[in-house]
Chain A
Amino acid sequence: MNVPALEASGVSKCYGSTRALHRVGLRVFPGERVALVGESGSGKTTLLRLFNRMVLPDEGAALVEGRDVAGEDPIALRRSVGYVQQEGGLIPHWSVSRNVALVPRLRGMDDPADRARIALEGVGLDPDTFGGRWPRQLSGGQRQRVALARALAARPEVVLLDEPFGALDAITRSEVRSAFAALVRRLGVTVLLVTHDLQEALALADRVAVMREGRIESVASPDDLRSRPETPYVARLLEKADVR
């Protein structure tokens, strides 16, 4: 295959005396959807945030499209990578359209408003109905859809998602999840998704990386993971998630 869209090689990261990542290696290829699963504190969010330089590694390197992020301008890098977090993080005093148009505007694109409309339609929200609303006038599910639209409005090659459906109730969650799955498939965007929900990882990802105490325990396709768990820990996780 060609150059990985995202690559971590031998990455370690400590916060004080706590070791968040220990010599982690991972490759995500263009158009691939990879899920990072693990219990809280396993290092999955830290690993994700290496790729938009929100975290710098103590050792090793994080590469985006073959380039070490340590050598990149962090502002330009972040504008080129989509990002969604659990609580959405919409700017509360900006309208929905203004929020969605953020990255196109930061990148100096000609038509941020049009791109915002297209992105909203892409996540199943009518721009005429929702564009003028304040974030607080939206339901939780609508808010996460807007956050997805914001991450994708500038058509990045890569999108990083940190528990994007984690705060939603079960029904909304599956709705937003399938809207998301359809969209990323259509756009062909590379996805790195952090989740603590193994079921979600298995449903959305081409490959699932199980993390434990700062290391990657196993990387496998959903089918392989289910049928041939590599370690007893992975087997226990599958057991607990009731997916075997």
Chain B
Amino acid sequence: MSPRATVGPVLLLLLCPSLSAQISRRPLVVASKPFAESFLLAERFAQALEARGLRVERRLGLGATEIAFSALREGDIDVYPEYTGTGLLAVLGEDPPADRGAAFRRVSTEFRRRWGLRWLPPLGFENTYAIAVRQATADSLGLESLSDLARHGATLVGGLSPDFIGRADGLEGLRGAYALELKEVRPLLQAVKYRALAVGEVDVIDGYSTDGQIARYPLRVLTDDRRFFPPYQAAALVSARMAEDAPDAVVALTELSGLISEEMIRAWNRRLEVEGDAVAVVARDALATLGVLEATEGSAGGAPQGPAAVPFLSFLWNRRVQTLRLTLRHLLLVALSLVSGILVAVPSGLALEGRRAQAEGAIRAVGILQTIPSIALLAFMIPILGIGVAPAVVALFLYSLYPIVRNTYSGVRDADPVAVEAARALGMTDRQLLLQVRLPLAAPVIMAGIRTAAVINVGTATLAAFIGAGGLGDPIVQGLALTDTRLVLSGAIPAALLAVVVDATLGSVERAVAPEGVEG
């Protein structure tokens, strides 16, 4: 992409208040990755900081490790919960040592040396792979550890996630470390695994040791007696800015260290994932249990999720103000990206029409942008634009180019070539032809491209939640992480309605710009 192409959106963004607010002194930004435990820990960090009277902004549910980590490295966020094993494997690309102390020391030194980032002392629990069997199976076969399992493996059926089956630190590694051979291995997704185990379809599953579901079923998690799985100790990972400028915040978060056992986190995860309690509420109760926070402290932030008993429509009604706010933010993302897309793509389409030999190749190159997965594109933006509205708008801008360029090009090219030829032969200049004949005839086609781009952007903008840009993706990401369908729907339904409304509105614009005298 040419540098000129980025000027449009960047200029627009300078006018956008939420970005300029980032430039001035901003509150501490607490973030999380998009799963329940990460939400919970981050919310707990946020509340602990607020209890110290510090200003906090929440950016919960950032897309993935790469996104959260890049955002922290670039200083767009200040703290998020991370696991030592993930830091070693995913960020440093190293094989983790089996010893958890060694693993923590390694990430501490390396993160600080390379990026100035600090790992605060671990929170106390580990969230590693957990191999679980039914309580009844464990009792009858006398299973306590993975070594016990290896002795009875030939009689048991495994239901393992495809990811685990393929990974070197998954099933392959277990075979090597424990000589574990199962009678049969079925690939199962996380969502159905526990139920399949409970009803006896499978006998052994892989999960995460702090999974709330483990507490729901009568299961036994087998101990990793040969310490095969890498250590995944949870800890607060803190930005250089916070580590240097906010010692009181570091102290507040360090107070949580070493306090949380696996049983505790499992029970809290269960409240989130199975019972559907609000993140803010569970976090407050957790802090109260730990004695860090007064039990009477009011909750701040987080979605006002009622208990599951509230009927869906009332749930939606209760969220109406928030939904409206998210919808407006969503529209802002779509409008900024679409307007910049139009400003760049329509002139590009016209320019290409004058160079038909190169046009198809150039348009196909723009089309390749369309094939970049949104998460990858968003992650790619972070080093350049940080997180929040700016990278989201630029990503959406890039996605909007193709349909508009394509339709502008072919709309103008195919606009009544016979009439254009005759008008040229009668002495119209290229400019007169373009403005008086070709553009008016191509207008509905160009508008259809803009309409396609707008509808795509309404959908894709939900993913902007992954990089903290807000919008209707927020409740979707949060709801998916918490397995809260109603929360997902509270974002998905307005997003779908928005797409319909945008489509209908631009459809009527399309009809309005159609020139008179031409059959539609």
Q: B-contacting residues of A (Cβ < 8 Å)?
A: 49, 52, 54, 75-80, 82-83, 85, 87-95, 102-103, 106-107, 134-136, 147, 150-151
B416 at interface (Cβ–Cβ under 8 A)?
yes
A83, A103, A135, most chain B CB atoms within 10 A: A83
Instruction: Please list the 8 inter-chain residue pairs (A to B) with the smallest Cβ-Cβ separation, ordered nearest first.
Output: A89-B422, A79-B427, A93-B515, A134-B517, A78-B427, A83-B425, A93-B517, A89-B418
The 0/1 profile, CB within 8 Å of A marked 1, for residues 508-520 of chain B is 0000000111110
Q: A49-B425, A77-B427, A78-B427 are in contact. List 11 more A-B contacts (CB 8 A).
A: A75-B429, A78-B424, A79-B426, A79-B427, A92-B416, A92-B517, A103-B426, A106-B428, A136-B518, A136-B519, A150-B426
List the B residue with the shortest CB-CB distance to A103: B426
Within 8 A of A (CB), among B425-451: 425-429, 432, 437, 440-441
How far apart sit A208 and B424, CA to CA, in the bound complex (Å)? 28
How far apart sit A79 and B517, CA to CA, in the bound complex (Å)? 25
Question: Of A79, A85, A107, which contacts B421 at CB under 8 A?
Answer: A85
Selected A-B contacts with CB under 8 Å, 22 pairs: A49-B425, A76-B427, A78-B424, A78-B426, A83-B425, A83-B426, A87-B418, A88-B422, A89-B419, A89-B423, A90-B419, A91-B416, A91-B423, A92-B518, A93-B517, A102-B426, A102-B428, A103-B427, A106-B426, A106-B432, A107-B427, A136-B517
The 0/1 profile, CB within 8 Å of A marked 1, for residues 391-421 of chain B is 0000000000000000000000000101101
> Using Cβ atoms and an 8 Å threshold, which residues of chain A touch B519?
136
> Using Cβ atoms and an 8 Å threshold, which residues of chain B touch A89?
418-419, 421-423
List the B residue with the shortest CB-CB distance to A135: B517
> Using Cβ atoms and an 8 Å threshold, which residues of chain B touch A79?
426-427
List the B residue with the shortest CB-CB distance to A54: B425
- Smallest beta-carbon distance A230→chain B, Å: 32
Question: Of B418, B427, B437, B440, which contacts A85 at CB under 8 A?
Answer: B418
Cβ A106 vs Cβ B427 within 8 A: yes
Question: Of B421, B429, B441, which contacts A92 at CB under 8 A?
Answer: B441
How far apart sit A135 and B416, CA to CA, in the bound complex (Å)? 13
Cβ B423 vs Cβ A102 within 8 A: yes
> Using Cβ atoms and an 8 Å threshold, which residues of chain A touch B517?
92-95, 134-136
List the B residue with the shortest CB-CB distance to A91: B419
Q: A135-B517, A136-B518, A136-B519 are in contact. Are A92 and B419 (CB under 8 A)?
A: yes
Number of A-B contacts (CB under 8 A): 71
Q: How large is the interface on B (under 10, 10 to 19, 20 to 34, 35 or more residues)?
A: 20 to 34
List the B residue with the shortest CB-CB distance to A90: B419
How far apart sit A79 and B424, CA to CA, in the bound complex (Å)? 9
- Smallest beta-carbon distance A43→chain B, Å: 18
List the A residue with the shortest CB-CB distance to B421: A89
> Using Cβ atoms and an 8 Å threshold, which residues of chain B touch A135?
517
How far apart sit A92 and B432, CA to CA, in the bound complex (Å)? 15
Q: A-contacting residues of B (Cβ < 8 Å)?
A: 416, 418-419, 421-429, 432, 437, 440-441, 515-519
- Smallest beta-carbon distance B4→chain A, Å: 31
- Smallest beta-carbon distance A174→chain B, Å: 24
- Smallest beta-carbon distance B369→chain A, Å: 34
How far apart sit A243 and B422, CA to CA, in the bound complex (Å)? 33
Q: A85-B418, A134-B516 are in contact. Are A93 and B427 (CB under 8 A)?
A: no
> Using Cβ atoms and an 8 Å threshold, which residues of chain B touch A91?
416, 419, 423, 437
How far apart sit A106 and B428, CA to CA, in the bound complex (Å)? 7
Cβ B440 vs Cβ A93 within 8 A: yes
Cβ A85 vs Cβ B516 within 8 A: no
A77, A91, A103, A107, most chain B CB atoms within 10 A: A91
Question: Of A92, A93, A95, A151, which contacts B426 at CB under 8 A?
Answer: A151
How far apart sit A93 and B446, CA to CA, in the bound complex (Å)? 17
> Using Cβ atoms and an 8 Å threshold, which residues of chain B touch A76?
427
How far apart sit A103 and B425, CA to CA, in the bound complex (Å)? 10
How far apart sit A26 and B395, CA to CA, in the bound complex (Å)? 62
- Smallest beta-carbon distance B360→chain A, Å: 20
- Smallest beta-carbon distance B441→chain A, Å: 6
> Using Cβ atoms and an 8 Å threshold, which residues of chain B touch A90?
419, 422
> Using Cβ atoms and an 8 Å threshold, which residues of chain A touch B440?
93
- Smallest beta-carbon distance B520→chain A, Å: 12
> Using Cβ atoms and an 8 Å threshold, which residues of chain B touch A92?
416, 419, 441, 515, 517-518
How far apart sit A76 and B426, CA to CA, in the bound complex (Å)? 9
- Smallest beta-carbon distance B302→chain A, Å: 56
> Using Cβ atoms and an 8 Å threshold, which residues of chain A touch B421?
85, 89
> Using Cβ atoms and an 8 Å threshold, which residues of chain B touch A147?
422
Cβ B422 vs Cβ A85 within 8 A: yes
How far apart sit A103 and B519, CA to CA, in the bound complex (Å)? 25
How far apart sit A88 and B420, CA to CA, in the bound complex (Å)? 11
- Smallest beta-carbon distance B511→chain A, Å: 14
B416, B426, B441, most chain A CB atoms within 10 A: B426
- Smallest beta-carbon distance A45→chain B, Å: 12
- Smallest beta-carbon distance B414→chain A, Å: 13
How far apart sit A178 and B124, CA to CA, in the bound complex (Å)? 101
> Using Cβ atoms and an 8 Å threshold, which residues of chain B touch A49?
425
- Smallest beta-carbon distance B29→chain A, Å: 54
How far apart sit A244 and B86, CA to CA, in the bound complex (Å)? 95
> Using Cβ atoms and an 8 Å threshold, which residues of chain A touch B419?
89-92
> Using Cβ atoms and an 8 Å threshold, which residues of chain A touch B418?
85, 87-89
> Using Cβ atoms and an 8 Å threshold, which residues of chain A touch B518?
92-93, 134, 136
List the A residue with the shortest CB-CB distance to B422: A89
- Smallest beta-carbon distance B12→chain A, Å: 33
How far apart sit A83 and B423, CA to CA, in the bound complex (Å)? 9
How far apart sit A93 and B437, CA to CA, in the bound complex (Å)? 8
How far apart sit A52 and B426, CA to CA, in the bound complex (Å)? 9
How far apart sit A43 and B505, CA to CA, in the bound complex (Å)? 51
> Using Cβ atoms and an 8 Å threshold, which residues of chain A touch B422?
83, 85, 88-90, 147
How far apart sit A43 and B73, CA to CA, in the bound complex (Å)? 70
Cβ A52 vs Cβ B516 within 8 A: no
Cβ B441 vs Cβ A93 within 8 A: yes
How far apart sit A90 and B420, CA to CA, in the bound complex (Å)? 9
How far apart sit A75 and B427, CA to CA, in the bound complex (Å)? 5
- Smallest beta-carbon distance A81→chain B, Å: 8
- Smallest beta-carbon distance B283→chain A, Å: 63
- Smallest beta-carbon distance B245→chain A, Å: 64
List the A residue with the shortest CB-CB distance to B440: A93
How far apart sit A197 and B432, CA to CA, in the bound complex (Å)? 35
> Using Cβ atoms and an 8 Å threshold, which residues of chain B touch A82?
426
> Using Cβ atoms and an 8 Å threshold, which residues of chain B touch A151?
426
How far apart sit A103 and B437, CA to CA, in the bound complex (Å)? 15
> Using Cβ atoms and an 8 Å threshold, which residues of chain B touch A80?
427
How far apart sit A135 and B441, CA to CA, in the bound complex (Å)? 14
